[in-house]
Chains A and B, each alone.
Chain A
Amino acid sequence: MRFWAVVLRHTCRNMLHTWKSQCMTLFTVSLSVLIFTFFYLIYSNALHIGEELDDDLRLVVYLDEEPAPPLQEEYRRKILKFDQVDRIEFVGREQAYKRFEHILGENSDVLTGVPTDFLPASIEVYPVRSLDSLSRIKRFSDYLQTLPGVLKVQYGKEWIERFYAFIQLMRVIIILSGSLLIMTTTFMVAHTIRLTLFARQQELELLRLVGATNNYIRMPFLLEGALQGCIGAGCGMGALLVLFNWITLQFAGPAAITLLPFVFFDWPAVFAIIGIATLLCVVGSFSAIRRFLHL
């Protein structure tokens, strides 16, 4: 207990001694966390939206003839041979007619006199719900087109491709901002710790001479790094929450954002982000200690 009280006192003294660079580091860490978490928030919400839209994601394979049960089994086998799917439904001509009639509702009388088998039979393929399925869906469609008796394969090609491109872009941005976060937290913290080490070089030498343990000397610097990470990430997350509230308020009302789920991180995710940023800062201070503190 007394050890930690002493360590805390030394840490506070260090931080006050180099308060200008401490402020710069905190600002940089906060900004890096804000940039990373902002894009990550958009990405994670896009994933949710993708999952919602996935409910409607299906490939409709129109056939020239209504397949008999053995042929249905053959189609099923060939589809499963290409990829795992959530489910496969066969829609006969009459079933297709009934669906169409249901869709028309009050206007279904336009179908009067139209034969009930005028619509083609089809197979509805529901891919497994994942983002990878989005990337594979075009290849899947091309494959289904090659099956015998297939007239046409239909799916929401345009939106899927755009959505997938957006997700890919977000992934790249997240990787870049994540790299920025890692670099700033580790390098900036390492730099600040290095400044503190130089500023206190005389005192550290003296501490060693009067019998301080290695932990007694090192721990304040590790704690300094941890505090920089924790406070910096906390400020970054706070700023993100403010930004999130501003966005949701700004787009509340008629905008499309109200129709789509746009939610903030849950508490475990918030703590995980702060924890990771803290850990990165500790790594930064540890590397500075290893390089510049010769005990």
Chain B
Amino acid sequence: MNPEPSPPSTMIDLIKVSKVYPPDVQAITDISLTVARGELVFLTGMSGAGKTTLLRLISRMEKPTKGMVDVAGIDVIKLPQRNIHLLRRKVGMAYQDFKLLPERTVADNIAIAMEVVYCPRSFIEKRTRELLAQLDLTRKYHTRAGELSRGEQQRVAIARAVANNPEIVLADEPTGNLDAETTGRVMALFKQLNRKGATLVIATHDRSLFQDTPHRVIELRFGRLRSPHEAPDQGGEADEDAPVMFEET
């Protein structure tokens, strides 16, 4: 009798990944990074450091110029276009630009993620209400997304990203437009997901989010991972040969 194949312990594995945008913009250079199953990782760095590019590479919104990207056991580079949904169903992403449908209601915007995996209507409604309650948006259920404030739109984008309880959640500046209280609610939601076993990568330059965190913090600078031995915000060059994995404190 063959034993059931165990899920991979490494959820995200990047090896020597580089991304160059035409004509010659080096967004990411030789990044090697491993994120374990169930880990919560903060990805930090200044604007333009390559955080968003890195998340886009993980979710196969972009293909790297060179290197290898493996997500939840899927070789992302070799994944054919027709099978890309297999990856996207494992990865929930909250985009920096939200990617909401302004003419549709908040509920519709969240439901869309569950509809594509054929969840029953009753489940979709229940889950949508539950998420809206957690993010303090209950009253906005029937409001059109275009009529919301940026902070509210951001929370809707987060709700959609986590609606399917994905194995991996990628959040790009998830608290950029939120006040302290709402930031706390969003982080509580992320931590709840993490406790349930989801792997989270949160790209942010909001230091308050990871200041006293027990989780790993990875810093990107000029498209490279910054060495742990380097003093933060010094602007120095990273040790190119050593892939950096900040240890949990």
Contacts and interface: CB of A to CB of B under 8 A. Distances in A.
A295 to B, nearest CB: 6
A114 interface: no
A206 B88 contact: no
Given A6-B118, A202-B101, A211 B113 contact: yes
A207 interface: yes
Contacts of A295: 81
Contacts of A210: 88, 112-113, 116, 160
Contact of A213 (B85, B93, B95, B101): B85
A208 B88 contact: yes
Interface in A1-56: 2-3, 6
* Consensus secondary structure, chain B interface: loop
B229 interface: no
Contacts of B82: 214
Interface in B91-136: 93, 95, 99, 101, 104, 112-113, 115-118, 120
A212 B85 contact: yes
Contact of A3 (B84, B113, B118): B118
Interface string A199-231: 000110111111111101000000000000000
Contacts of B88: 208-211
A208 B86 CA distance: 11
A6 B99 contact: no
Nearest to B161: A210
Among A6, A205, A209, A214, max chain B CB count under 10 A is at: A209
Contacts, number: 44
B89 interface: yes
Contacts of B61: 209
B163 to A, nearest CB: 9
Contacts of B115: 6
B118 A209 contact: no
B33 to A, nearest CB: 22
Contacts of B116: 207, 210-213, 216
Nearest to B81: A295
B6 to A, nearest CB: 24
Contacts of B164: 211
Contact of B85 (A6, A203, A211): A211
A242 to B, nearest CB: 40
A206 B118 contact: no
A6 B115 CA distance: 8
A286 B99 CA distance: 27
A228 B58 CA distance: 41
Contact of A207 (B59, B81, B112): B112
Nearest to B118: A2
Contact of A203 (B84, B89, B101, B118): B101
A211 B161 CA distance: 11
Interface string A236-277: 000000000000000000000000000000000000000000
Nearest to B102: A202
A211 to B, nearest CB: 4
19 contacts: A6-B115, A203-B104, A205-B99, A206-B99, A206-B101, A208-B88, A209-B59, A209-B61, A209-B88, A209-B93, A209-B95, A210-B112, A211-B85, A211-B89, A211-B113, A211-B116, A212-B85, A213-B85, A295-B81
In order of increasing CB-CB distance, the 9 nearest A-B pairs are A211-B88, A211-B89, A212-B116, A210-B113, A2-B118, A211-B85, A213-B85, A211-B116, A210-B116
Interface of B: 59, 61, 81-82, 84-85, 88-89, 93, 95, 99, 101, 104, 112-113, 115-118, 120, 160, 164
Given A2-B118, A208-B84, 15 more contacts: A2-B120, A3-B118, A6-B118, A203-B101, A203-B104, A203-B112, A205-B99, A206-B101, A207-B112, A209-B99, A211-B88, A211-B89, A211-B116, A211-B117, A216-B85
